[in-house]
Amino acid sequence: MKVPRPWSARAWLDTGHVMIGLPVAIVLGGLTLVLIVAPPLLRRRLPWFTRVQRSRFEAFLGVHIPPVQTPSQWRSPATWRQIGYHLLSPIVGLAAAFLVAVAWGGAIVGLLSFLPAKLSGPPLEFVFDLRDNRVVLLFMVIGLVLMVLAPILARGMAALDLSVARTLLGPSRSELGQRIETLTESRAGVIDAADAERRRIERDLHDGAQQRLVSLAMNLGLARATLTDLPEPAKEAIAQAHEEAKQALKELRDFVRGLHPAVLNDQGLDAALSGVAARAPFPVKLHVDIERRATPTIEAVAFFIVSEALTNIAKHAAATKAEIRVRSERDRLHVLVYDDGCGGARLDAGTGLRGLAQRIDSVDGTLRLSSPLGGPTTIEVDLPCE
Amino acid sequence: MRVVLAEDSVLLREGLIRLLDASGMEVVAAVDEAEGLLRAAEEHRPELVITDVRMPPTHTDEGLRAALVLRRQQPGLPVLVLSQYVEERYAAQLLASATNGGVGYLLKDRVADVAEFIDALRRVASGGTALDPEVVAQLLLRGNSDPLERLTPREHEVLGLMAEGRSNTGIGQALVLSEGAVGKHIGNIFTKLDLPPAEGDHRRVLAVLQFLKIRSLP
């Protein structure tokens, strides 16, 4: 914990938190106590009490206490923990407010202890003789020390309050565990949905646009071959349209092939990588050694890694050759992509590699990139197979 | 020539029928799924079968599996497989079924070049091979140690073009070599692959098949 300076905003916010905390805790604790005679009402009001307290932490300390997900029910431990907090907080609040108030009060009194002697009032009836300079000096020193101590004390008390609130108002350990489980499940769901979506797009293009383009290119080819007695400009126009249709077909095929090749589902990663590696504009060596197939999601991620890495190499690396090694080892899948290009690849620059890293993260894989300026570049990826 | 055609896209099926008609071939049956293809091939006993790979009901590789069944049922029946993508693994399965030629595997794009496509059809129908250059490129990726390692890079190129189904003249044009030089390379390939002398084109087909089997079977 950072030690607050005496006059910083932090010090005042902590002090405010503790001092406001006492009346709030007394009111809410009192209401809780009173409403014990009317349990249904208490159960309904309880979330509101908790919300007030939570907003206090948010306002003064800037700390968000995650709300409990379960509804307010008697059989929920969260309900009982909240009641516990509201009953406990007046006691904690009183102690905290008392200590902080004494510290600030002592500081002010000590620092102002020279005043009575200066003021020409009636002599004070006090155990210490404030006309004695040594006593005044001692008091002022104590005041100064308290001045420094008060913010620390306020900080400590606020922290104590916070830890009590976190324990009793926030989600418990088992609830957090539950939440992680839910998140993991929903993340897997999102990834699977994205893969399914890729497959759907691939199939739609395959059944629609690609067939239509093949048909178009074929008709133009047929026209080119049979309509030989047309005037030269017409023949030329047909020839040009024919070439462009073929080019469009090739580009669409390359794009769709990178999305999610059908052969990946049917025959696995090994078979699918041949196509993507053969399309690269530089020679690629491919070594695949997989004992049994990984899940479709992992296969899709591994395919995406290789496909994306090869695209990146073609775009940026000016490589003369590349090598891909895929190997399974018990429950892990290792993917290595090497190229002899110019290096200097970085994860934080450009979207290609970052997209790659995100995709790997999404399945709890790891990525190691080595790409010194001047090359060569190696991307090593480790994926869980299950 | 009597042809049975299987293609699930109406547009493309009609287009292919027109194209084959214009080239003097007769489409005796045009179907849109694999079961229908098997029935039609049984009924019509065609001289050539042209089939798509992805067809109903599962839209995966039923056309290819039907082609394999056909090759078993009617050994030597020439089959040309057309697909939106070519995969060496499918090529391997197709060619593993072939003890001799009569097999083709081409990208659908190739139908746009009418003359070359018709040429490939005739070649397959007469027992030759027609492999898409993209498949050949995929097959060259894997760097295993095998009898093919004994081939020089030039011989490799020649063998690749042979797998595509090109004639000696065609290979010579592609590599800017005289026909004599091509013949010499091919002779060397036969020797290095330990292929026995055989009639006509058969030895050629064997070389291609060996090339594919070694390249594609792990």
pLDDT per residue, tens digit, chain A (386 aa), is 455 666 788 888 999 999 999 999 999 999 999 988 888 888 888 888 988 999 999 999 888 888 776 677 788 888 888 899 999 999 999 999 999 999 999 988 888 887 776 765 555 556 666 677 788 888 889 989 998 888 899 999 999 999 998 888 888 778 788 888 899 889 888 888 888 898 899 889 988 899 999 999 999 999 999 898 999 999 999 999 999 999 999 999 888 887 888 888 888 898 899 888 888 888 888 888 888 888 888 999 999 999 989 988 988 888 898 999 999 988 899 999 999 988 888 887 766 788 888 889 888 999 999 989 987 999 999 999 87
pLDDT given at position A260:
82
CATH classification for the domain delimited by B140-216, as one of 1.10.260.40, 3.30.390.50, 3.40.50.720, 1.10.10.10: 1.10.10.10
Q: Is B76 helix (H, G, I), strand (E, B) or coil?
A: coil
Q: Does A207 touch chain B (CB under 8 A)?
A: yes
B210 vs B118, residue with greater confidence: B118
Q: Does A252 touch chain B (CB under 8 A)?
A: no
Q: Is A142 helix (H, G, I), strand (E, B) or coil?
A: helix
Q: Is B29 helix (H, G, I), strand (E, B) or coil?
A: strand
Domain segments of chain A as ranges: 9-171, 184-259, 263-384
Cis peptide before B147 (omega within 30 of 0): no
Tokens of B145: 């140690």
pTM (2 decimals)? 0.68
How far from each other are the two terminal CA atoms of chain B, in whole angstroms?
38
Q: How far is CA A52 from the centre of its chain?
A: 28
Which residues in chain A are contacts of B16 at CB distance < 8 A? 218
Which residues in chain A are contacts of B140 at CB distance < 8 A? 278
Tokens of A336: 């290595």
The dihedrals phi and psi of B191, each to the nearest 5 degrees, come to -65, -50
Q: How many Å apart are CA A192 and CA A28, to the nearest integer? A: 47
Q: How many CB atoms are closer than 10 A to CB A198? A: 16
CB contact under 8 A, B12 and A278: no
List of long-range contacts for A66-72, beta carbons under 8 Å, 24+ apart: A66/A170, A66/A171, A68/A169, A68/A170, A68/A171, A68/A175, A69/A171, A69/A175, A69/A179, A70/A175, A72/A43, A72/A44, A72/A46, A72/A47
Between the alpha carbon of residue B95 and those of residues A103, B80, B156, B174, B195, the distances in Å are 91, 11, 19, 24, 17
Residue from the list B22, B61, B142 with its beta carbon closest to the beta carbon of A222: B22
Residue B145: pLDDT above 50?
no
The pLDDT confidence band at residue B218, using thresholds 50, 70 and 90, is: very low
Cis peptide before B57 (omega within 30 of 0): yes
Q: How many Å apart are CA B106 and CA B13, to the nearest integer? A: 16
CB contact under 8 A, B218 and A270: yes
Tokens of A43: 């159960």
Q: How many Å apart are CA B110 and CA A10, to the nearest integer? A: 74
Which residues in chain B are contacts of A285 at CB distance < 8 A? 141-143
pLDDT given at position A123:
58
Domain segments of chain B as ranges: 2-131, 140-216
Q: What is the ipTM of this complex?
A: 0.79
Please give the torsion angle defined by the CA atoms of residues A267, A272, A274 and A275, in that order, rounded to the nearest 10 degrees: 120
Which residues in chain B are contacts of A239 at CB distance < 8 A? none
Chain B's closest residue to A248, CA to CA, is: B109
A353/chain B closest Cα distance in angstroms: 24
pLDDT given at position B214:
62
pLDDT given at position B198:
61
Which residues in chain A are contacts of B11 at CB distance < 8 A? 211-212, 215
CATH topology of domain B2-131: Rossmann fold (3.40.50)
CATH classification for the domain delimited by A263-384, as one of 3.90.550.10, 3.30.565.10, 3.40.50.2300, 3.20.20.140: 3.30.565.10
CB pairs under 8 A between A and B: 112
